[in-house]
A and B are shown apart, each in its own frame.
Chain A
Amino acid sequence: MNSALLKCEHLKLCYAAVAPIDFELLSGEVVALLGENGCGKSTFLKTLCGLLEPVSGVVSLLGRPLWPVSKNTWAPRERAKAVAIVRMGGVACDRMTVREFVGLGRTPYAGLLDGRTQEDERIIDDSIALLDLRKFANRWMTELSDGERSRVYLAQAIAQQVKVLLLDEPNAFLDIPRSRKLFTLMQELAKAHGMGILVSTHSVEYAEKYGDRIAVIEKGRFRCERSSEARAKGLLDWTM
């Protein structure tokens, strides 16, 4: 049985009116998170990666508490080596090449003056290759299309070498073939590296096809079922 990488108990989110959440993200699985705009998906993801303090409840990452803050809580830098969040609609990153941006994924591992070792450079190259970005590597981020930029954001998170990957609508700007490729890649990453991936999306089709489980936030309630059973158990009724 796969171990729980991320676990939350009676988690009450700030900003979002959602009943307390109990959830486990297991090693090797992809969980698709669905819900209407403004239901609290992004808030949930930000809370799980330690960026937003919840109102109450417990979140533990690799068995160590993330929330509430205590003596044993993750130090921010160590936490960044274990969990990463990828958001597509971020600040426009001017004056930065694709390679520089992907290299930011090595920040948690860098020394005081933000240097990169040979090993870091190899990991950055691998991440660029994995997302098929080699021909863009020296282009400015501002010269990329939204879809190309989405892949760069993901490559940066992969370079971070985390166990838990949280993705906020990663296929929002991607065409159909690239979306498929992205979800297939997520499955591969989860299986090959024992990662736990929680991905918020508006695509029910991809959620059912590529997700091991489907989580839904609907009418202030969080529910999670195996993707093969989600439709039968009424998790997707709200999409009709």
Chain B
Amino acid sequence: MAGETVRRIDKRILLGFGLLVSLIAVLSYLTLFSGTVGLSWSDLSLRSLPYDSVQSQIFWEIRVPRLVAAVFSGISLSVAGLSLQTLFRNPLAGPFVLGISSGASLGVALSLLAGFSFGYFGVLSAASVGAIAVTFLVMAVAARFENSTVLLIVGLLVGYFIDALVSLLIVGSDAESLRVYVSWGMGSFGRLTFDCIWIFALSTLVGLALLLLSIRYMNATRLGDDFARGLGLNVRRGRIMVLLGASLLAGTSTAFCGPVAFVGIAVPHLAFMLFKTGNHRVLLPASALCGIVLCLAACQFSSVPLNAVLSLVGVPVVLWVIIRGGGIRK
């Protein structure tokens, strides 16, 4: 009987993954080939040389980077959100709560509003430096305190402090700088360039690897640090790996796509509702796939600010799933 139950659960999980992968395939096709300028495979075939045709340029310089940005952001934000919700045992935790997104915002604000130079990559470097600086601050606190709640409070306080600093920079800035900064804050998958894809890919892979190696810790720490210790896990190392992985994922995504709200907090709940398991071996890839679907769906509305699309489309969908699924808490 138990064996049948296991098989039934596995079947449901496989079905869920199959559905999500199919949705991703359809949405990827739409992202690459539909839009203001419709493209087809024949426009891009090897026979349609030269590669510097308008269609090729649109495909390689706009559509492909946008697809990659949506996929990597979807993975990064949802997996970071899931990990932080698990670490803090708080369903409202997400990449924003540790102040990582605020740190990136401060870097960008210093670059755009205060005129600081951050080298070749400009805004990207600025956001990265800000996110990394806050991550190190949070890590320093994590190394000092055992209690995850302390870390959560420190993250929130750092976020508020940084937001206040950004407000001061906004007050003293000119209209054009402010316009550019506000535009960055709305989020977009259209800023990634083909040359930078490898940086995004590398950071995402490293962040994911850190979190994959922490699955055992994440599954056990839901019952508290003492419980995890009792199962022979190194709680301090697990916490630092999760923090580092989540910060890397959230920081990189914020650097490339701006502070994208909603995905990090909502997608883990959506994945749980669909797969009905708290096991991170399932929930982690499930969140990643759900995140990709949501971000690719948002890509179809490229003329509207990303954060607005994600919230306007995503919130009703997630609410519907939660209400039908019987609530977030089980």
Contacts and interface: CB of A to CB of B under 8 A. Distances in A.
Contacts of B48: none
B224 A91 contact: yes
A78 B231 CA distance: 9
Interface string B202-225: 000000000011011001101110
Given A95-B278, A96-B222, A112 B213 contact: yes
12 contacts: A51-B230, A76-B233, A81-B232, A84-B230, A90-B227, A91-B227, A95-B272, A100-B277, A104-B220, A112-B216, A113-B281, A114-B279
Contacts of A131: none
B234 A76 contact: yes
A125 B2 contact: yes
A114 B277 CA distance: 15
A128 B2 contact: yes
A115 B229 contact: no
Contacts of A113: 212, 215-216, 281
B245 to A, nearest CB: 14
A189 interface: no
Interface residues of B, number: 31
Contact of A108 (B5, B226, B231, B279): B231
B1 interface: yes
A94 to B, nearest CB: 5
Contacts of A84: 230
A91 B232 contact: no
Contacts, number: 89
A170 to B, nearest CB: 15
Interface in B250-284: 272, 277-281
A80 interface: yes
Contact of B232 (A94, A100, A107, A143): A107
Nearest to A81: B232
A79 B219 CA distance: 19
A158 B280 CA distance: 23
B251 to A, nearest CB: 25
A79 B234 CA distance: 12
Interface of A: 46, 49, 51, 75-81, 84-85, 90-91, 93-97, 99-100, 104-105, 107-108, 110, 112-115, 121, 125, 128, 134, 137-138, 140, 142-143, 160
A197 to B, nearest CB: 16
Given A91-B227, A100-B277, A76 B2 contact: no
B231 A114 contact: no
B191 interface: no
Contacts of A91: 89, 222-224, 227
A80 B220 CA distance: 13
B175 interface: no
B144 interface: no
A121 B6 contact: yes
A184 B94 CA distance: 46
Interface of B: 1-3, 5-6, 89, 212-213, 215-216, 219-220, 222-224, 226-227, 229-234, 272, 277-281, 329-330
Contacts of B216: 107, 110, 112-114
A76 B278 contact: no
Nearest to B280: A114
A140 to B, nearest CB: 4
Contacts of B227: 90-91
Contacts of A76: 229, 232-234
Contact of A80 (B222, B224, B230, B329): B230
A26 B266 CA distance: 51
Given A80-B231, A134-B1, A100 B278 contact: yes
Nearest to A141: B330
Closest 8 CB pairs of A and B: A80-B232, A95-B278, A77-B232, A114-B216, A107-B231, A91-B224, A76-B232, A140-B330
A115 B215 CA distance: 10
A114 B213 CA distance: 9
Nearest to A111: B216
A66 to B, nearest CB: 13
Given A84-B230, A128-B2, 4 more contacts: A95-B272, A96-B278, A107-B216, A113-B212
Contacts of B215: 112-114
Contacts of A97: 277
The CB with the most chain B CB atoms within 10 A, among A134, A140, A142, is that of A140
B232 to A, nearest CB: 3
B233 A142 contact: no
Contact of B5 (A80, A110, A138, A140): A138
